Amino acid sequence: MKEILVFLRYYPLYLGVFIVLVPIGIMTYKWKRLDASFRLLFLYLVCRFLADMVMLYYAATGRNNLWLHNLMVPLRYLLLSGVFYYFLESPKIRYWIRVSIPFFLIFAIGDIYFSNHTAGRTDEYLYVRYSGVVECLLMLLWILLYFYEIFRLLKLKSARFLVAVAWLLYYASLVFLTPLFYYIYRSQGLIIQLGLLENIPDFMEILAVLITTVAVSLPSVRYD
């Protein structure tokens, strides 16, 4: 515990780990009124906080905590895809979420193994190669389908709503990758192969343009 306090004194940004206690406290108070989706969300937040505390301790003691970060990838998808399973009403979409869970868990476990099969100890573990990106794409798909379901059920014939969703997705991807690209491409002698990560902003911009195309195609003169 002493190591964590010293670490937080020098790196106060990591105090953000404790923000998750606020929704955990609120959901604990309202537990009897929570449905299955929010109980899964509660479980995820608790698991995340516990994992963050262990990772914080490892960082404070100068040890590699990436093995725990890797384990959180399949666990996070299991719980958060379950949240959207209950959010969504379409039986077809729910079916595909159920199908995706075991396949993703197998894929993520395999990715963890093959990304670190040469590591002798957890101290030598590296970040997973592919499962983090696949998780993001799958969750974006379920979230987009949830937005679409709201759009359809409430009959929100609003071009503004779709445009906002489109560019929210684009800038959500760009805000983290832009500074990363800046340092990579301007650092002399530093060569980092990002693979598909380099194309994520392009993919997201294409998606944003496609959604915008649907928005401006709506039968509304003023697009409101």
Task: Domain ranges for the chain, please list them.
Answer: 2-158, 159-224
| Pairwise CA distance, residues 131 & 73, whole Å | 7
| Pairwise CA distance, residues 57 & 138, whole Å | 31
| First vs last C-alpha separation in the chain | 55
Q: Is pLDDT of 182 > 80? A: no
Q: Is pLDDT of 3 > 60? A: yes
| Pairwise CA distance, residues 199 & 195, whole Å | 8
Find all residues with CB under 8 Å of 103, minimum gap 6, and list them: none
Q: Is pLDDT of 77 > 90? A: yes
Q: Is pLDDT of 87 > 80? A: yes
CA angle centred on 30, ends 25 and 36, rounded to 5°: 105
Average pLDDT, integer, range 69-87: 91
pLDDT band at 186 (very low <50, low <70, confident <90, very high): very low
pLDDT band at 222 (very low <50, low <70, confident <90, very high): very low
Q: What CA dihedral angle connects 31, 33, 38 and 40, to 10 degrees?
A: 50
- Mean residue pLDDT across the chain: 78
Average pLDDT, integer, range 138-164: 78
- 49 vs 155, which has greater pLDDT? 49
| Pairwise CA distance, residues 194 & 127, whole Å | 13
Tokens of 94: 């729910």
| Number of Cα atoms under 13 Å in the Cβ half of residue 203 | 12
User: How does 41-68 read in b/e, with b if 16+ C-beta sit within 10 Å?
Assistant: bbbbbbebbebbeebbebbbeeebbbbb
Average pLDDT, integer, range 129-158: 80
| Pairwise CA distance, residues 21 & 27, whole Å | 10
Q: Are 52 and 16 in contact (CB under 8 A)?
A: no
Q: Are 88 and 146 in contact (CB under 8 A)?
A: yes
Write the CA distances from 61 to 5, 10, 173, integer angstroms: 11, 13, 32
Lowest-confidence range among 12-16, 65-69, 108-112, 157-161?
157-161
User: What per-residue confidence (pLDDT) applies to 12?
Assistant: 74
List, for residues 92-130, the tens digit of each pLDDT value: 999 999 999 999 999 999 988 887 766 666 566 667 778
List, for residues 24-50, the tens digit of each pLDDT value: 999 999 898 889 999 999 999 999 999
The pTM score is 0.75
